[in-house]
Amino acid sequence: MTSFIWLKRPLQSAGAVMLAASMACGGTQAGHGTVYDGDASARPSMECLPTFGDEGRRGLSEKMRFALTLADEAFDFPGPHPPPSGAALAELQQWSESDLRQWLEQKSQMVQAAREELDSASDEAHDQRVYAGAIVGLMYEDVARVLMDVPTPRELSDEPEIAEMYQDVVRSQAEPYLVHSRNAYRACRLNGEGREGLGPWSRFCGERGGALPAASEVDVTGAVQLESGESATSVEVIRE
């Protein structure tokens, strides 16, 4: 028997997506050693972004600076306490209905607040659009990786086929977040190509987007298709 909790979609205030209840938190809160500027293999964080440089940072608008503060807060929000190692399905269900539910609601609100400010700041200057694309991609990747890093209940340890089906269902719940992460990284990469000072950001976004799990539906331009009723964020738009 599986219970469910309801989660908001990344871009819909009223839409919801069912998430399998027996999930454990990912590794985004564990120790990770030194993170370098532009580290495309590091866990999602503000620290792994390429450097703005002195000139680039001085040129940031007040709106962009406020957006960066909100993004910092979203990344710093601690993850849920994980369930016991080797937990049974009943234990995972209980955990998901308390710790995980509360964390996802609070984390989603913080990510949405930062995204809205980044969307607005991205319309002020082209370089800010590139920066914002990288940050939005990281924020959605951060949530998705928590949802993807899910243990299988110990009852399924001897049922490989059922365990695989279970993991497929769990991974599908991260897909709405991955869609926006992929598209934000793609826009960051393309918007930064050939632009002075933005090469490191373009390469960073290309590498991070390429490392995400493959998308199930991609259009001819390379963008990941959104579901009916959803729209792209401002930072997902390609500008000439």
Strands 4-8 and 16-20: antiparallel
Q: pLDDT tens for residues 84-98?
A: 788 898 888 888 788
pLDDT at position 30, please? 36
175 in a structural domain:
yes
How far CA 63 is from CA of 114, 119, 214, in Å, comes to: 11, 10, 33
Name the average pLDDT for the chain.
Answer: 80
Lowest mean pLDDT among 150-164, 181-195, 201-215: 150-164
- CA 90 – CA 22 distance, rounded (Å): 8
Residue 179, in any domain of the structure? yes
What is the tens place of the pLDDT at every residue in 188-198?
999 999 999 99
Domain membership flag for residue 158 = yes
Q: What pLDDT score was predicted for residue 23?
A: 31
Task: Please report whether residue 20 resides in a domain.
Answer: no
Q: Which H, E and C letters describe the chain, residue by residue?
A: CCCEEEEECCCCCCCEEEEECCCCCCCCCCCCCCCCCCCCCCCCCHHHCCCCHHHHHHCCCHHHHHHHHHHHHHHHCCCCCCCCCCCCHHHHHHHHHHHHHHHHHHHHHHHHHHHHHHHHHHCCCHHHHHHHHHHHHHHHHHHHHHHHCCCCCHHHCCCHHHHHHHHHHHHHCCHHHHHHHHHHHHHHHHHHCCCCCCHHHHHHHHHHHHHCCCCCCECCCCCECCCCCCCCCHHHCCCC
Evaluate whether residue 17 is within a structural domain.
no
**44 close to 72: Cβ distance less than 8 angstroms:** no
Say which range, 34-38, 94-98, 170-174, 218-222, has the weakest mean pLDDT: 218-222
Q: How confident is the model at residue 227 (pLDDT cuts 50, 70, 90)?
A: low
**Average pLDDT of span 180-207:** 96
Tell whether 23 is covered by a domain: no
| Residue 22 counted as domain residue | no
Residue 233 pLDDT: 60
Which structural domain range is residue 167 located in? 54-236
d(CA 30, CA 27): 6
Residue 22: band (very low, low, confident or very high) from pLDDT cuts 50, 70, 90? very low
Taking the alpha carbons of 198, 200, 202, 208 in that order, is the dihedral positive or negative? negative
List, for residues 40-66, the tens digit of each pLDDT value.
999 999 999 999 877 778 899 999 999
Domain count across the chain: 1
Give the pLDDT mean for 199-207.
Answer: 97
pLDDT digit string, tens, across residues 101-146: 888 899 999 999 999 999 999 999 999 999 999 999 999 999 999 8
Beta bridge partners of 16: 8
CA angle 40, 127, 28 (to 5 degrees): 30
pLDDT at 1 over 80: no
Q: According to the model, what pLDDT value does residue 239 have?
A: 65
Residue at 192 is within a domain? yes
Cα separations in angstroms, 42 against 151, 164, 214: 22, 27, 19
The DSSP secondary-structure symbol of 237 reads S
Angle separating helix axes 101-122 and 62-76, nearest 10 degrees: 160
